[in-house]
Amino acid sequence: MPAVTTTMPELGTWQKVTVAMLGVLLVVELVLPLRRQLYPGNFLWTEEGYLFSWDMIVSTKSGTSEFEVKDPASGKSWVVAPRRYLTPPQERMMMRRPSLLLQFSHFLASEWHKAGYEGVQVRARSRISLNNRTPQWLVDPEVDLAAERLTLAPSPWITALREPLPPVPAH
């Protein structure tokens, strides 16, 4: 019986592009969840690198948040409760995520800007408990969040978790 040899046909241009795109997607799907390892501190507290990770819904945060808007020019200041602008579910979500606290601070600064106040400072007072630990400041209450920017670098205005959690194994 003669040996049977089969050859694969050459891939066309679109097939090569499709294979390349699937390869890139596979790498992204494997690497993106591991980026939490690049940030200091406990990712369950800072939530840096938390989105799209494989460790979803493994923590509970509760607490309270309010914001102080201050106009340095006039010395006036206002205490703002987030519920004035957000629904209860939005407020709960914002309160637990430092990136959303930052975005809400920028929103408040833009609202005061529209009202004629230039260069207001916005500070968040967010006392949060992670998995029933003693509440602590999630972000530094002395930092003007209106002046901070969200970047891929670790955010120095997020406080360190004082009461540590057991280590989470890497995947």
Position 77 in a domain: yes
Given a cut of 70, whether residue 30 has pLDDT beyond it is yes
Domain around 131: 54-147
The two three-digit tokens of residue 75, written as one number: 């010395």
CA distances from 144 to 105, 124, 129, 147, 169 (A): 9, 8, 22, 6, 35
Domain count, the chain: 1
Q: How confident is the model at residue 60 (pLDDT cuts 50, 70, 90)?
A: confident
- Which residues, 6+ apart, have CB-to-CB distance to 148 below 8 Å? 102, 105, 155, 157
Whether 141 is in a domain gets the answer yes
pLDDT over 80 (residue 133): yes
Asked if residue 107 is part of any domain, the answer here is yes
Q: What pLDDT was estimated at residue 70?
A: 97
Higher pLDDT, 113 or 4: 113
**Is position 162 within any domain?**
no
Rounded Cα distance between 168 and 55, Å, is 9
pTM: 0.75
Residue 29 lies in a domain: no
Between residues 82 and 39, the one the model is more confident about: 82
Q: What is the pLDDT of residue 59?
A: 77
Query: Which of 69 and 7 is assigned the larger pLDDT?
Result: 69
Does 101 fall in a domain? yes
Q: Which three-class secondary structure state does DSSP give residue 83? A: helix
Q: Distance (Å, rounded) from C-alpha 115 to C-alpha 36? A: 39
* Residue at 142 is within a domain: yes
φ and ψ of 89, to 5 deg: -65, -40
End-to-end CA distance of the chain: give it in Å, rounded.
Answer: 50
Whether 135 maps to a domain, the answer reads yes
CA–CA distance, 155 with 7 (Å, rounded to integer): 54
Contact present, 68 and 79 (Cβ < 8 Å): yes
**pLDDT value at 87 more than 90:** yes
